[in-house]
Amino acid sequence: MGVCCCKERNDEDIDFTNETNLSHFHLLKLIGQGTFGKVRIVQHKKTKKQFALKYMDKSICIKQKAISNIITERTILERVHYPLITNLRYAFQDDDTLFLALDPMLGGDLRFQLQQQSTLPELQVRHYVACIALSLNYLHLKRIAHRDIKPENILLDQQNYAHLSDFNIAVQFSPQQPLVWSRSGTIAYMAPEILAKKGYTTSVDWWSLGVIAFELVFGTRPFEAQSKEMLINSILNDPLVFPPNVYDTVSMDCIDIITGLLDKSPYHRLGCHTNEFEKFKSHPWFRGLDWTKLEKKQLLSPCRLKPCKIVKNELKDDGLVYSTKRMSLPLDNNSIPVTEEARCRLQLEQEFLDFNYTLMSEDNKRNSFYEKLFNNKQPDLL
């Protein structure tokens, strides 16, 4: 296999009409690291636009049995496009690595803001909650539940707008599967119906939003315990209790909306029913908020963003390579993978499809994994 190390290639040698690959980008600052790989800012050599490049080691993904989650994130991201979501711009792969190029978010995440300030001003919390609610409504209209709404997955741009990210355990419902029973997400932010192993829908995301709102305002989560089992029991059975002197801290309207979001019954929870979002937007807590301008990101944030230090990496070789061809997978005489790793790699080859947002149009979209799966009476999708 022909490869070259992670050094810049002359732009004259690059064919930008070919499938997108790593050589199309300048590698800039490293801004994050996770279980499967890293995230760094990159710049497209032709358009000069910057993106957040999320790159994941295939071997680690296979060992962690995360193939289906990675493919889910890739395919759902192709189906959505919204100002308050970290939108997918490119997807590609080489022998060892999967790449997702996303909208860059240089303001860090809400967890970072909490670590810096402990609690946030109510107006700032209202701004974030409204941004997240708009994104949830957009997803839910497409029958998509995020299932892992938490501060780490809410990213901020330089204008202090909150964006949903990390769709690797998101689920898209179909008419044939209107409910999901699996327990997925982060326990502290899981809705009671998930923990009780009852069938659930998009209602679980509104509960998670309530937990985030509580945490941003008070600096602690509404349900906490010393063990996993005790935490589950608390979420399922304990009443919602606010800190002492709560009305000296935030408004009654803020308390009311948090209470509505943290209703243990999805049948009564705020935001969970058809046309419920209009009721949510008209809540007194949002009085005076121009939702149309907010959605278009035309409003000034009520608070300045706490600067997030970005880790600077001067193009060090961290394992990225420019591949000129793919390796051959070990197959038997019937072209069936002979090892589990080969089977997983073949699945990635077939289902982690290339994506280039500059080439996509409403009239000329390829059928993806999800389009084949949900081709019967599905809602209109982008």
Contact 51, 90 (CB under 8 A): yes
Dig out the tokens for 352 from the structure: 């982690």
Q: Choose, from 103, 148, 166, 263, the residue flagged as catalytic.
A: 148
Q: How far apart are CA 231 and CA 238, in angstroms?
A: 10
From residue 84, how far is each of 173, 220, 366 by CA, in Å? 21, 25, 25
Q: Which amino acid is at 146?
A: H
Whether the Cβ atoms of residue 160 and residue 305 lie closer than 8 Å to each other: yes
Distance of CA 265 to the CA centre of its chain: 25
> Does the annotation mark 148 as catalytic?
yes
Binding residue numbers for ATP: 54
- CA–CA gap between residue 41 and residue 48 (Å, rounded): 12
DSSP H helices, the chain, are 58-63, 67-79, 110-117, 122-141, 192-195, 203-218, 228-237, 252-261, 276-281, 291-295, 340-351, 369-373
Of residues 100, 102, 82, the one with CA closest to residue 92:
100
- The catalytic site residues sit at 148
